[in-house]
A and B are shown apart, each in its own frame.
Chain A
Amino acid sequence: MDRATRNRGWERNERRPRVFQFSESNPLSPYLFLIPHAALFLLFTVYPIGFGVYVSLHRWDVLASTQPFVGLEFYRRLLDPNTVQFQFFWKTLLNTLLFVAVSVPLLVGGALSLALLVNRPISGRGFFRAVFFAPNIFAVSVVGLVWRWVLDNQAGLVNIVLDEYLGVRPINFITEQPWAWLSIILATLWWTVGFNMVIYLAALQGIPKTYYEAAELDGASTWAKFSHITWPLLSPTTVFVVITTVIASFQLFGQSLIITGGGPSRSTQSVIMYITEEGFSNFQFSSAAAMAMVLGLIMMLFTVVQFRALARDIGMGAKGDAR
């Protein structure tokens, strides 16, 4: 036994490890590190979810003297075609899914395309990066108002240009489908594509130049370089971008609320909008809580499925995992 080891042994025997001591000898150490986050997580995530479950199982109203237990009543309504809740919850969920299905590929593909463009040594690329990212800093209310005014049926810039300069009949962007959806998707794209672009840009800059040089020596075409080097090496980023974008798109709210008000005939009302209406306009808190729980479960399911599906494609990451 050398001196160092003996010394440590000696110390261990002499000094009783204290509960809050960060050291390898303290078995609580990892948990101590987790406490700061865990406390916030419990307070702001676990507790509200638990309270949400409680609300959804009772006929809850903060002003009422009693909060009678109703069990799964509000969940049952979501499965009974005769209720308003069934009709609008699933309708607005389908609306939201449609939005996710259309907007996510655009937000991911568009971001990647933009990132590839501004990653090239073109003049003024710093300017373009800033321009594409800039709309992100706006609040959704600003984005919604700007696009509502630009696309207004009568007074919008686009329609005035169409009508007075191009001689084309104005388009009812706000009150007719599929234009109403187009308006919302356009606004969303303009607003958030820059964020995904920046993430892709960072990932692109992390790909070693040597790979491309080697490929060029082998005479690889631009497409071959993209499909064999860039795309596979970006796959962990793509997983991240897709999952966060899907979650963000599921939470569609402000754009619909401000641009179309959910119309025409609730066709652009998102599920979060409907839950808000049920809770804060109709004061059906329990019903809204039940819907929020179901939506949460659906989103979780989506995320798991996506993660499974996409993680398989992650070249480097998954293989490096050695399992």
Chain B
Amino acid sequence: MLTRLTRLVVLVVALTLTLASGVVAADKVTIEYWHGFTGPDRPLMEQLIAKFNETHPDIEVKAQAIPWGTMWQQIPAAVAAGKAPDVAVANEDVITGFIARGAFAELTPDMLATAGIDKNRFYASLWNTGSYKGKDYGVPVHSVALVLYYNTDMFKKAGVDINKAMSSREEFLKAMQKLTIDKNGKHPNEPGFDLNNVEQWGTMLPLPWMGGCIFYSFLLQNGGRLVDDDATKAVFNSPEGVDALQFLVDLIYKYHVSPANVTEDGSIAGFRQGKVATNFNGVWRVNDYLNQEGLNFAVAPIPKVGGKTYATWGGSSHLVIPKARQVDKKRQEAALKFIGWITQPQQNLFWTGAGGLPTQPVVAQDKSFDNSPMKPVFASLGNVFATAGFPWVSQVRGAMDEAVSSAMLGKKSPKQALDDGVKLADQQIADAMKNIR
């Protein structure tokens, strides 16, 4: 019995070795790649992968498209079990948390050199989203930002110049007042304005997540920040934060250029139907508007309403190498080659067809963008900042969104709302810190 078993084992081992040597002989490395581009962007990602496989006969990239939320649940378990993919994509809101918990491998200068990646090629704020404590972990592959869509017909009719309107808080407010019209043709800064019968709104400030993105942009423009230097305390209730939120609240309740209780769906529908002159949303919304018949619009960077600098909320996706139990040099090298290739300007240019922004200035200068509706925002891409950079982004962002919502719904004063938000964020940060060790 035992000898028979031994013989069987020997046979199996021999067979495996033969097969394995066959693979080695072909000299082809197969790597696994997980990404969350499951929407209309999926075919473009698949085309890129096919092209890589075609041009790299020694590497085979096997890709799996997994919805983002599912992937965040699977990555930790896969890393712990030693079954993580060779390459994965992590978004700005989770990447630092995963880095701090030890899920991703550091991309050392040597590794970046192997991949042929020069980090100075990318927008600095975008690249830094994939870095933590001075070390690099992710290479940006996808970038989005908050922009302002505006109805060109309405702007023309009201005689408002977009560049002027976006240049300062006063100009933005003036433009919004001109663009808000009640059924008697009166504007909100005129006596007799009928708030209950507004025919056209200047803007619609939506809740809660999109509202958070707008607030965050204005907070940064004021020189404010989400968290302090070592990210252990939330600080978005600073005077800069209160001022930013007060302005948003005033646009609704004092200047009446936006209705209250706006949902994101509502703001989008209002803009599509031509009832609202401007719409704050992400660059990913552009195709919806392009497909809307009779809607003449253009895209601008969001207004500069803060006193200090110019900034806009953005999001991004980064290619990372999840930690392996035992690093297989060959596979890691192949993974780096893939990361290096897919983040090249040429590939990034192709990828922007999926609705993303250029990840590097050299791509933004490409001639093919000359007629793109997004072109006007390219100049400000260096000022795009994600809610990112510390391990407890979702805890802080969630508390911030809740605070912004309650103020924009008129439930709390901006100061009170932000103080409550910071208190909640701090408690959740304290909890999270205990888990990261």
Partner-B contacts on A (CB < 8 A) = 59, 61-64, 66, 83-84, 148-149, 152-156, 169, 172, 174-176, 261, 263-266, 277, 280-284, 287
Contact = CB atoms under 8 A, between A and B. Distances in A.
B80 A62 contact: yes
B103 interface: yes
A155 B264 CA distance: 10
A65 to B, nearest CB: 8
Contacts of B435: 59, 61, 64, 283-284
Nearest to A277: B398
Contact of A174 (B263, B267, B434): B263
A209 to B, nearest CB: 51
Interface in B68-85: 69, 72-73, 76-77, 79-80
A263 B207 contact: yes
Among B209, B261, B263, B411, which residue has the most Cβ atoms of chain A within 10 A?
B263
A84 B207 contact: no
A61 B267 CA distance: 40
A277 B259 CA distance: 30
B431 A282 contact: yes
A148 B265 contact: yes
The 7 closest A-B pairs by CB, nearest first: A154-B266, A155-B269, A172-B261, A62-B80, A63-B101, A175-B261, A84-B427
Contact of B428 (A64, A84, A149, A176): A84
Contacts of B262: 153-154
Contact of A264 (B76, B209, B406): B406
Interface in B368-405: 392, 394-395, 398, 402, 405
Interface residues of B, number: 44
Contacts of A66: 437
17 contacts: A59-B434, A61-B435, A62-B76, A62-B77, A62-B80, A66-B437, A152-B265, A154-B269, A155-B265, A175-B409, A176-B409, A261-B209, A264-B411, A265-B409, A265-B411, A266-B402, A284-B431
Contacts of B102: 63-64
B267 A154 contact: yes
A83 B406 CA distance: 21
A155 B266 contact: yes
Interface string B252-277: 00000001011101111110010000
Interface in B195-230: 196, 204, 207-209
A152 B272 CA distance: 15
Contact of B394 (A84, A175, A265, A282): A282
A261 B395 contact: no
A287 B434 CA distance: 12
Contacts of B406: 264-265
